[in-house]
Amino acid sequence: MPLPRQRSSSGEPTQPFRGIGRGLLVLLLLGTVTFAVLGLVGDFEQISALIVGFDGGVLALVLLLSAVNYGLRYLRWQYYLRRLDVHLPPGRSLAIFLTGFLLAVTPGKAGELAKAWMAREFGAKRARPVVAVVVTERLLDVLAVLLLLASSVLVFTGQRSFVAPVVLVAAAGVVAVIYRPVVDRLIPLLAKTRLGAGRAAVLIDIHQAFNRLVEPRTLVVGLTLSTTAWAAEGIGCALVVRHYEPAVPMLASVFDYAASSMAGAISMLPGGLLAAEGSLVLLLERQGVALDAAMASTVIVRAATLWFAVVVGLLALPWVLALLRRR
């Protein structure tokens, strides 16, 4: 059934969910290709047997850790909205947040910007501050993964030569975005581009809201929530790996998960598919995990993180559409 065409509060036709169907199709196609490649490279029957034989109790714990990730990120979302005086009923705010998991299947998670439109329709009055929240969330996710990589390397020294340049380059990029003088110079340049033409006021409003969110105290709170959230999923990955190969140190698995997540983000592919799976298998192999066990671990980890989030987003979508019809 096609999604209903929505109208903004100003009466202009808007359809923020129009790319979801296409995004899900691309995601499913990439997922199919990914699993097909894993089956071709490894022993499909052996991989299937390893997955079917996985401990259900451990899987439940891994899913719980993913839920902890979502809960902490929701707290961050709420904290940032309040810092910008964006007031939404808790139920509507939660609906927007959960639907964001589905919007994130777009390349570079650009679809998440539709959360700003939903927030305005649900009573936030202005969308621009919420755009700043979404941008800040993505930056903090990158910083959190970098912190996990760096902290893992302190104990797990085998990947220092690989991680150091990645962490330094990515961290420099994030700091450049957060550093106010740099952004102050970028906005006039962006306003002169074809994309930013006529949007100088919009960019300034978003920038001002962004500055409030990266103030030291606010940044520390957000980064603490972000790092704890992604550490929870990293521990989930470690539990899966240790089911097949108990000798692999937990921090090594956290490192592998963080590095593969970064690879997926850099690829700009929906859900980081192919890049995240391929890098995780390779990293696990370097830890001494057998190829088939590494592939089985990767499938389970991605099912409990990416695909679990997609299912949660799909379940939340009817809730959001019902709220939009009643507004």
List 6's β-bridge partners, or say none: 14
Q: What 3-state class would DSSP assign to 217?
A: helix
Contact call for residues 235 and 86 (beta carbons, < 8 A):
no
Has residue 185 got a pLDDT over 70? Answer: no
Q: Is residue 292 part of a domain?
A: yes
Per-residue pLDDT reduced to its tens digit, 55-106: 999 999 999 999 999 999 999 999 999 999 999 999 999 999 999 998 877 6
Q: What CA–CA distance (Å, rounded) separates 299 from 53?
A: 13
Q: How confident is the model at residue 155 (pLDDT cuts 50, 70, 90)?
A: low
Judged by average pLDDT, the poorest of 13-17, 87-91, 136-140, 303-307 is 13-17
Cα–Cα distance for residue pair 199/206, rounded to 1 Å = 11
* Two tokens, residue 217: 């105290």
Q: What are phi and psi of 125, to 5 degrees?
A: 75, -45
* Helix%, strand%, coil% for the chain, nearest 5: 80, 0, 20
What tens digit of pLDDT does each residue of 268-298 get? 888 888 889 999 999 999 888 999 999 999 9
Residue 242: predicted pLDDT: 95
Residue 299 lies in a domain: yes
pLDDT score recorded for residue 10 = 41
- Assess if residue 156 is contained within a domain: yes
Burial class, 94, CB count within 10 angstroms (exposed 0-12 / middle 13-18 / buried 19+): middle
Residue numbers of the domain that contains 89 = 16-326
Handedness of CA 319, 28, 48, 297 (dihedral sign): negative
**Whole-structure pTM value:** 0.85
Closest by CA position to 118, among listed 82, 94, 83: 94
On average, the pLDDT of the chain sits at: 82
Residue the block writes with tokens 């936030």: 124
- Please report whether residue 148 resides in a domain: yes
pLDDT, position 224: 95
- The 10s digit of each residue's pLDDT in 120-144 is 888 888 888 999 999 999 889 988 9
Nearest of 241, 261, 257 to residue 249 by alpha carbon: 241
Task: Say if 232 falls within a structural domain.
Answer: yes
Task: Give the span between the Cα atoms of 189 and 210, in whole angstroms.
Answer: 18
Number of domains observed in the structure of the chain:
1
In a domain, 246, yes or no: yes
| 272 belongs to a structural domain | yes
Q: What is the pLDDT of residue 5?
A: 43
pLDDT at residue 4, rounded to an integer? 38
What pLDDT was estimated at residue 34?
Answer: 77
Examine residue 5 and state whether it is found in any structural domain, yes or no: no
Q: What is the pLDDT of residue 12?
A: 38
pLDDT of residue 270: 81
**Terminal C-alpha separation, the chain:** 21
